[in-house]
Amino acid sequence: MSFAALAPLAFALLPLAAAPVVIHLLTRRRATPRAFPALAFLARVEAGRASRHRLRERAVLALRALALICAALAAVGLAWRGSLAGSGRPAVIVLDASASMQQQVDGATVWSRARAAAGRIADEYAGRPLALVVASAPRRATGAPAVTHGPVRALLADAEPGAGDGDPAGALAAALAALAGPGDIVLITDLARGSLAGIDPRALPTGVALRLVDAGGGAANCAVVGLAAEPGTLVAGRPATILARVANYGVAPATLSIALRAGSASGVTPLTLGAGESAVVRQALTLDSTGWIAIEAELIQARADALPLDDRRVGAVEVVPALAALVVSDADRGDPAGVVRPLVAALSAAGLAVRVSDGAGLAAELAGEGGRLRPALVVTAALADPAPVRAALPGHLDGGGAWLQVVCGDADAALGDVGGIVAPAPLGAPVDVSAQERGEMRLGQAKLEHALLAPFVGRESLLASVAAYRYRLTPTGAAADAATLWAWADGTLALIERPARAGRWLLLNGSPAAADSNLAAGEVLPLLAERLPAVLLPARSDRLTRDVGGRVPAGGPLTDATGRALPVVDGSVLLDRPGLYRAAGGALLAAAVPALESDLRRLDPARLDLTASDAASTQAEARLAPLWPWLLVAVALMLGLELLLAGGLPGRVGGRRP
């Protein structure tokens, strides 16, 4: 037998077992012997009956004392340790196989200790249905708990730690699905900062117990936790800056050198980081070649740290020969009064390489088919069918591209929802232009503090010459993150800008047709176009890497450095290890250790109302079966028997007062 130590102070209740005896001794009446010859024969008759009364009295006292003893033992959690303990109650072992489990402490990896602990705990669960979930990428499991532990042993022998975050919440969900009811979940982890991400113990189903097993860890570590490039679109022959964020998660200062490489260009920067500090290292480079290149940041340390896996981080970026703009329109390109010519002229004057396409060819243009340069800016105007544009633009915005939407007609306005992104501001229903006043409708307001409108500061007279008919009603319900830059005199929105996924969306509500507006004439449109690349295109790209363990859409097969093709599942590909991956078209994709996995500092489980024990304690308690329910049943039976013996009257034995 063993005590679960749930309430050690309950041992103080054990002396109370003597309370009934003490009370009886203190309160019983002592008779004074007196000689009364007439009752001599009666005393002999009552002698046997009094003896039985005393025996019943002592039995009642014993039952009361035993009831108090059982209640105290139930309070301290008395448990039975034996071959039948816990039999029938299923259990699932969740083995953390995230990147942080590869840290080395005292000459051994935390992973090796965790796997050994899982094996020993599985031994202690002999006779109980058992399953195993290995929390890595991809996650593996043995299925529903079974008394035969062969699959658990086989998976333990084959399991290896991954380089991702292990998806703790997903692993716990897999364990709950395997249990399909009450049971025990044993999570073996290093208790690093991300080990319990997404787990809420209060949301566990009734009857499911979660136990944390501390596998050790918490060693000092320095890591490259971020990689970026400025500007967001790198152009060959123009200056670029490579940035790497380096963190010291140790308790002592660290002296480092950081090597930054981009293609054939490289540089080394020395750095000293205090305990718990991080810093951004910058390296200015000029990239001469075009195409996809690898960007790398590597730590050179005076002494090795606990997790070498994150000392090197690789990213991928495309260097373009020039910034390209694509004008998408179904209008006549040669019409001097149409929409295409003034847009092409304004964008070309801004130094952009401009191409023209229709909606049907947009997808091919964005994919860079035929060796064409993928555009950083897409301009749509005077569309006939919005469907092809709506389908192709989400991928462009996901990649950090910019979109200028020039609203000239109903099809342009119908592009109000692209890939689930709400338009910067919904446009009202069209009205009959002939019913409107034929006078000029000048700009009612102009927020010139926006960077896009910087060329107009001090030149407000240019805006006074802009006129348009109000062929759209004033919109309502603009997106919360949209900025209204210009509005017509009647309140109709003219220029609205907002973020859209990783890119930007600018909506210009005006028609360049001569009968409706002169917005495309004069200097207004060229000045706007000049600022588009600097304002709409991202100043920095933080998407040079993806986290290991994440999924990316499968536009085609991906192969790693060894030529291994990654399997496509449900239209996406799982990045299961760090490194560079190449798509069929030559584009590069990089995966790296999630930044949170580099932080090996310990998490306090008490924040989640949990406690953690070491593997030895868990192993020792693995086969303990609680006896407190049975002890409470025994207390109830003893009290019932006591009432029967006492005749159902408190303070009476055999129907008489003691």
Q: Report which DSSP code applies to 428.
A: P
Number of Cβ within 10 Å of residue 510's Cβ equals: 26
β-pair partners for 487:
445, 493
| Residue pointed to by tokens 């868990």 | 618
Reduced to 3 states (helix: H, G, I; strand: E, B; else coil), residue 647 is: coil
β-pair partners for 104:
109
Greatest distance between any 2 Cα atoms in the chain: 145
Q: What is the per-residue pLDDT for 276? A: 92
Average pLDDT, 10 consecutive residues per value, the chain (658 residues):
44 59 59 59 57 73 76 65 58 96 92 93 88 94 94 95 95 96 94 92 92 91 95 89 95 93 90 94 90 94 87 94 93 82 90 92 86 89 90 88 87 81 65 48 73 87 70 58 75 81 84 61 82 86 91 84 88 92 89 96 89 67 59 77 64 44
**Does the pTM of the predicted model rise above 0.85?**
no
Torsion sign, CA atoms 107, 109, 110, 113: negative
Tell me how far apart the alpha carbons of residues 42 and 361 are, in angstroms, rounded to a whole number.
122
Cα dist from 471 to 254, 294, 408, 507, 516, whole Å? 65, 50, 10, 16, 9
Q: Would you kindly state where each structural domain of the chain is located, as residue ranges?
A: 2-29+40-82+628-645, 91-218+600-622, 222-320+543-598, 324-536
Reduced to 3 states (helix: H, G, I; strand: E, B; else coil), residue 220 is: coil
Q: Report which DSSP code applies to 595.
A: G
Tell me how far apart the alpha carbons of residues 621 and 77 are, in angstroms, rounded to a whole number.
12
Q: Burial of 153 by CB count in 10 Å (0-12 exposed, 13-18 middle, 19+ buried)? A: middle
3-state secondary structure 434-476: HHCCCCCCCEEEECCCCHHHHHHCCCCHHHHCCCECCCECCCC
Measuring CA to CA, which residue among 160, 143, 161 is closest to residue 152? 143
Q: Are 567 and 576 in contact (CB under 8 A)?
A: no
Tell me how far apart the alpha carbons of residues 131 and 620 are, in angstroms, rounded to a whole number.
19
Cα dist from 639 to 57, 311, 579, 645, whole Å? 14, 68, 71, 10
222-320+543-598 carries CATH number 2.60.40.10: yes
Say yes or no: do domains 222-320+543-598 and 324-536 share a fold.
Answer: no
| Residue pointed to by tokens 């890497």 | 545
| Residue pointed to by tokens 């990147």 | 99
Tell me how far apart the alpha carbons of residues 304 and 302 are, in angstroms, rounded to a whole number.
7
Which residues 6+ apart lie within 8 Å of 564 measured at CB?
none
Reduced to 3 states (helix: H, G, I; strand: E, B; else coil), residue 132 is: strand
C-alpha 463: how far from its chain's center? 47
Tell me how far apart the alpha carbons of residues 291 and 234 are, in angstroms, rounded to a whole number.
10
Q: Burial of 564 by CB count in 10 Å (0-12 exposed, 13-18 middle, 19+ buried)? A: exposed
Fold for the domain defined by 91-218+600-622: Rossmann fold (3.40.50)
Fold for the domain defined by 324-536: Rossmann fold (3.40.50)
Both tokens of 565, joined, read 């093709």
